[in-house]
Amino acid sequence: MPPGPFAGNLDNRELVEGTTLYVPVFVRGALVWTGDSHAAQGNGEVNLTAIETAFQESASTRPIPERPSAETADFLVLTARAAAMNKAVDEASWGMIELLQKARGLSRLDAYALASIAMDCRIGDMSATGERSVHCLVPKSLWVGR
């Protein structure tokens, strides 16, 4: 399943050990299946090949964003998918702006400005489904204690 409002096939090399992944679940009591974890892959996974591996996980429930997102040791990550690459970039960018508003308490204009200054968008899965996956990252190093 593509990562629209669901998580689906994220194929994101940023999702490493210690990452917290936030996945929207829209049905009470829904079951969650995980798999297709990668020990290594290039951005874009251009020939649909990566080094497959097993992984362990733990799960909990709490309110989460409307799109798949993650928090690594270094980044806030937001993923979107669309048939056209520019649409996927737009959706991931606007999703990150909303995430910055909710997760970091920024105004919409401040989140928009910060995204323009510090956000990096990368190609995720270039799958055979005809859709393109993009994930945008904002470094957590922007928030430092005084």
49-105, pLDDT tens digit by residue?
Answer: 777 776 777 666 666 667 788 889 999 999 888 889 999 999 999 999 999 998 889
pLDDT at 2 over 60: no
How confident is the prediction for the chain on average, in pLDDT?
80
Superfamily of domain 20-142 in the CATH hierarchy: Acetamidase/Formamidase-like domains (3.10.28.20)
The reported pLDDT for the residue numbered 12 is 74
**What φ, ψ does residue 76 adopt, rounded to 5°?**
-90, 135
Say which amino acid occupies 144: V
Q: Where are the domains of the chain?
A: 20-142
pLDDT at 7 over 60: yes
Note the Cα 94 to chain centre separation in Å.
Answer: 13
The percentage of the chain sitting over the pLDDT mark of 70, rounded to a whole number, equals 73
